Chains A and B, each alone.
Chain A
Amino acid sequence: MVVSPPTGAPAASALTLSPAALGDPAWRSVLEPLLAAGRSAGADLVEVFLERSDHLGLLAEQDVITSVSPAFGAGAGLRVFLGDRDGFVSTNDLSAAGLRAALEQALGMLGLLLPSQGGRAFDGLPELRDFAATKEGWLQACPSLAETTGRLLEGTGRLAAHGQHLQVRRGSYARDWQEVLVAASDGTFARDVRLHQSVGLNVLAADGDHRASLGRRYGTSDSPDDLRRWDVEAAAVDVCSSAGTMLYADYVEAGQFPVVLANRFGGVIFHEACGHLLETTQVERATTPFADMVGQPIAHPSLTAIDEGLTAGAFGSLAMDDEGMEPQRTVLIENGILQRFLSDRAGERRTGHPRTGSGRRQSHAFAAASRMRNTYIAAGPHSPEDLIASVDKGLYCKSMGGGSVGPTGQFNFAVEEGYLIENGTLTRPVKGATLIGDAKEVMPRISMCANDLELAAGFCGSVSGSIFVTVGQPHIKVDTITVGGR
């Protein structure tokens, strides 16, 4: 079937924000003419990404709910490819006229015009791959406002019970529900519903001139009951214990040291130092030192690293990516040898690396790009104690703050909770450490991996916005790294 450009298509505004909006079969009659029009104008590929979102943010301070912030919205992102160039337009106007105007604008960026005759054919959309069919009730199954506020106040209450010198106690919760429909002229036609929830506890402890601010955040995907299962007692004890320890910690001595990084969020080192450099967006920009090194060693032989979107409930898991492709388990590095890059539609067209189900974006306002999902270093043969025992003088990083990587591969990240290692034993707590390094130099220095792989939820901001990701690792040892301090 060849579908014609839109003539008398139903106004999509009538569909906007209805209870099952993007699952409404009427969308096909809006999307097919759009895709056909784009193809007839000469586009190699036309993609439409439709989104509805529903967000709730809550904040509890001390023993009071101080912010309840609901938000909802809808929008579309239209992308047109011609060769390896593309034009992208986003809009909040989901009417047929609004989408048509966005398409015309995207086509115009590539020098293509509507109306057009005799362009390329479009054979129509296939049957919808509906990953959302079993997820329709997720939003309603989430805890009510009353239940959610109650859990948060329970959290700040437990902080008061377990902490000392706490000047500020905060609990925060975010629930992000998103329904997406992706249609493209290559026959992609898929819908999904995503649900992400995260809850965190933060404290500021103060005693005279001593201050320590600490927090922990927990997050899962696709689990409406997540907040109900949150172990608030354990979370409060964990935060208060760390805050009590760090309140009187000295600043770390600066220098070059061996470092042992704890499991879970310690995985931010791989995320920043290497993961971003294995995205095809970095190959396109010529900002990765690993561009031509597939099949070559880039890390210590003890290191195997994986990115996948499959782990049930993990923050970075997906039923399909934001280009309608099902995710994969992608082995990035195996025994130190670079295996492959993370790739999206544009990355495949521009670099030749096959797509990996890694096309991701914050919302319809961003064009998808190759991004990480659940990224972790695989478990090794050692115990965590083996790693610490192998260090005469160094730093143990129990809890990490955020980090970043620059266009030359220089990375950095902050240590939230650290301890000195002296003669193979953990001794004093230290604060104020920042680890900096160069990806190419540090990867061969990850010489030991322990057997206690765990994952942690996080947020990653990059070219296509802020997305939900998981970082992870077992305890690892870096033979030497620059530790910034005082």
Chain B
Amino acid sequence: MGTTESAAASLDAEVLRQRLDQLAQREGVRRWDLGASCSTDTSVQVDRGEAKQMKGAQRSAITLRVWNDDGLVGITSTSDLSDAGLARALAGARDASAYGNVDEVPDFSPLATAPLPVLEQPLRPPVSILSLLDTLKEAESDLLGRHPAIGTVPYNGLAQRSSDRLYINSDGACRQQRLTTASLYLYARAEEAGRKPRSSGAVRLAYGAADLDVAGCVQEAAERTIAHLDYAPIRTGRYTCVFSPEAFLDLIGAFSSLFNARAVLDGVSLSRRESLGEQLAVPFFSLHDNGLHPANVGAAAFDGEGTPTRRLSLVEGGVLRHFLHSEATARAFGVAPTGHAGLGAKVSVGPDWFEIGPTPGSDGGARGLDRFASGAGAGDGLVVIDSLSALHAGVKASQGAFSLPFDGWLVEGGTARSIEAATVAGDIRTLLKAIVGFEGPAKVTPDGLCPHVWVEGLSITGDA
């Protein structure tokens, strides 16, 4: 019954190139490039032991860029990979090129034919959707059984994907990457009599559904949810805060325009061209972008312009060292592209996967943490920030300001108690210079690698 998995998604790069060559020749387009992708997905959700929804998807997409006779660029995107669709996309891109930006014309990446990194990414065959369903039902049942207060797991999902993406240009570049991934998320809701409901969860990624750490996901979701059951309000004031790796990575990600050359050129970053070499954070703080880290499941070998992905030092010893670049921003700065570009009329730039930790040779703030270990710095207690919410609304990246709801605990007298409802607010530049130290080993998360991070003097608003 019901083996419903689809065949692995695939694109034929050579066929696509030949079709584009013919269409471009017919339309008089001499220079073009494209990014294409296709994927097949299956996913399940459950609700108290029953299948809630099962989904499948076959997707295809292409973004086509052309240079007109004046050297200006236009693009068009479509999900229609038929000959008619490609012809229409080519015509649309040529029309759009009439409005190309004269002041900044993208070019092919000079690294679009450079050797690619070798990634250890096993291709896993899809499992049947009914197998996914059984796995998720068992995980939900296990989680529900961890504590009487856990009544539902309202947000859950187990998904698997097979994808194929490529980059081709009219100068002969051809990049292609096939990938399989799987993901599991479990967010439980717990409620005790006469008390407010509490919620928390966990996520796991792997190359195939059979590789997922289901038990670990259940355990983490249960621990996090149960740990928030006993809650109390917190007094408004300034506290020393301990960010979980996930929370700190979320915060740095929300302010990644600090390291983004596109944002610098556009004037919306807190950094300027001349910021390179300036002290951005405490001297023991180090930040790299490393999409190639072995723990980065689903790493891309190349960016939207075909530039190879690589590890890049952004902050070393607290000093801003490099920016993330596309081809166009790299040209403007006189450096090489770094492999962080998208593909568009105005090429976006973004980070892959952060590595945050102590600068080699530094103590990672151990002396600062010793101060707290001796009881000298805690004041009204420590606030542990487990997870941040509403980053889309509460972060003003171009101003450096944040004011964010969070889930966490107040640690007083050696006892941790969940905080009922609170926000943490501050300025990212001040925060980076108020880091006390790193605690414990770096933890691998879906967004990067980071230890716990202690920060002094953040504003916490509560309702005690």
- By a beta-carbon cutoff of 8 Å, the part of chain A in contact with chain B is 13, 16-17, 59, 61, 64-75, 85-93, 98, 102, 104-106, 108-113, 145, 149, 167-168, 204, 211-213, 251, 254-256, 284-287, 289, 365, 367, 401-404, 406-410, 412-414, 431-434, 436-438, 482-486
Contacts and interface: CB of A to CB of B under 8 A. Distances in A.
B154 A287 contact: yes
A284 B403 contact: no
Given A70-B92, A113-B1, A434 B423 contact: yes
Contact of A402 (B78, B129, B392, B404): B392
A365 B331 CA distance: 38
A254 B423 CA distance: 9
B103 to A, nearest CB: 6
Contact of A254 (B55, B77, B461): B461
Nearest to A407: B199
Interface in B176-191: 187, 189
A404 B236 contact: no
Nearest to B154: A285
Contacts of B75: 68-70
Interface of B: 1-4, 6, 47, 50-60, 74-82, 84-85, 88-89, 92-93, 95-96, 98-104, 129-130, 151-152, 154-155, 187, 189, 196-199, 236, 266-268, 344-346, 389-390, 392-394, 396, 398-401, 403-405, 421-423, 425-426, 459, 461-463
11 contacts: A69-B344, A71-B78, A72-B78, A88-B56, A92-B81, A108-B2, A109-B56, A436-B423, A438-B196, A484-B425, A485-B461
Contact of B390 (A69, A108, A408, A412): A412
B55 A408 contact: no
Contacts of B6: 105
B292 to A, nearest CB: 30
A98 B58 CA distance: 10
Contacts of B405: 410, 412, 434, 436, 484
Contact of B101 (A17, A65, A431): A65
A433 B77 contact: no
Given A254-B425, A484-B425, A71 B77 contact: yes
B338 to A, nearest CB: 21
A402 B391 CA distance: 10
A410 B198 CA distance: 10
B393 A403 contact: yes
A265 B91 CA distance: 39
A204 B423 contact: no
A254 B57 CA distance: 46
A262 B3 CA distance: 55
Contact of A412 (B151, B199, B393): B393
A127 to B, nearest CB: 30
A345 B2 CA distance: 24
Nearest to B57: A90
A91 B198 contact: no
A403 B423 CA distance: 14
Contact of B51 (A85, A91, A436): A85
6 closest A-B pairs by beta carbon, nearest first, are: A484-B423, A73-B79, A108-B4, A402-B393, A254-B461, A285-B154
Given A68-B74, A72-B88, A73-B78, A408 B199 contact: yes
Contacts of A69: 75, 77, 96, 344-345
Contact of B53 (A88, A91, A289): A88
